[in-house]
Structure 1
Amino acid sequence: MNGNALLSCCNLQAGYDASKVLFDVSFAIRPGEVIGLLGRNGMGKSTTIKCITGALSPSQGEIRFRGEQVAGRRMDTIARMGVATVPEGRQCFPNLSVSEHLTAFAENRSRTSPPWTRERIYALFPRLAERANNMGDQLSGGEQQMLAIGRALSTNPHLLILDEATEGLAPLIREEIWRCISALKAQGQTILIVDKYVDKLVQLADRHLILERGRLVWSGSSAELDADRSLWHRYMGV
């Protein structure tokens, strides 16, 4: 794989018990890139993310992060290396306030300068500053998503993974999330993003990967994906 890659997956295979989900998936993400991971539900996107983050050990293949083999390592080990995930469903803690969420996970794992502090996250998401003393279960869905992104940023990751970045959010909140992701890209944050709004992703991402039944069936630039709408219909049902 690409020697300059921040993350590389080579011939990745994975599944659950006797059910195989991923078949020889290979790709690389370079520092500073925003990559869209696309495909219909059940095509292997979440399984790929689980392999990268350590939630699932691949049955075969190699995953390298910053040059180190990480396939099969523990989730906390991979997280400390600088991988942060905004999970589907947000998973905010109901008994922690917004402020406590952003303090409990704070660590400059990538030696970012300036680092993502609580104050800097509040500047990115002013609504969180207004809700600083609210508990996780006292927030709207959109506010919880902002908090989940802020919580991930508070670790100052090398790689930020967003699984279903804007699922279930109102249109105005979705636009705010897109604005913030665009701001992160402008600041050089490497991002792997799963989302169904392909029209937004082609404006934001550098490249895209399409999974179909656990196989990587297409990869290319946003310009290439935007120009070939047949791919949208064939693999994403858009």
Structure 2
Amino acid sequence: MMYPTECQFLNSQTCFFEFSKEVDEAVSEYIASVVNALEGDKGIVDVIASYTTLMVVFDPYHYDRHSIAKRFQTLFANLATSKVEDTSACDIEIPVFYDPEVGPDLLDVAKRCNLTPEEVIAIHSGRSYRAYAIGFMPGYAYLGTLDERIQLPRRDTPRLKVAKGMVAFAEKQTAVYPSESPGGWHLVGRTPIELVDWGSESLSLMKVGDRIHFKPITRDDYLAMGGKF
């Protein structure tokens, strides 16, 4: 079975589950199904999903350790007898202006990968990515898996400031910076759209399990959509 047999309690109102030691899409799909099954549960305060783990904060006035463990025992048993599928997952298209003008590492990435900048763009935008985890900051989704042809280690020297909207990748992951922050990934383009939805509970445009597609756009399109330099 993929699911754990018991809760690991971090404190009186937080339990933790590890579903696998390896990053795998099937594991991520299962975790997304668990998250989806918890929606609407008034006793659940917060759910934090990662690549292979799930942390759940529960209301101690609604659940104690015994009842929350029983809640998950039942949930896992129900999932074990049904097809694991996250029906709440969305396909999200993110427009990206790929150009050295906004992606200062694009030319260097192409050189190091023995590709042309156009080939790097085509490879990066030529597949869909699964949102495996949300973290680091509101709206920041860890997306995978990057094509092997453009996989590079993180930068030796991280930048102190990476502008909002920058599209980046490192190793097997890619992401979009939803706001200005430090960062050590390779910057290859920039999106003009907002990645943080302040009107939602999660704050993020993306959630675990969503499929993300990057769509190359022109400089004129980028500016018309409110893009900044």
Please tell me the TM-score bracket, short chain as reference: under 0.3
Larger Rg: 2
TM-score (norm 2): 0.26
Relative contact order, higher structure (CA 8 A, sep 6+): 1
TM-score (norm 1): 0.26
Larger helix proportion, structure 1 or 2? 1
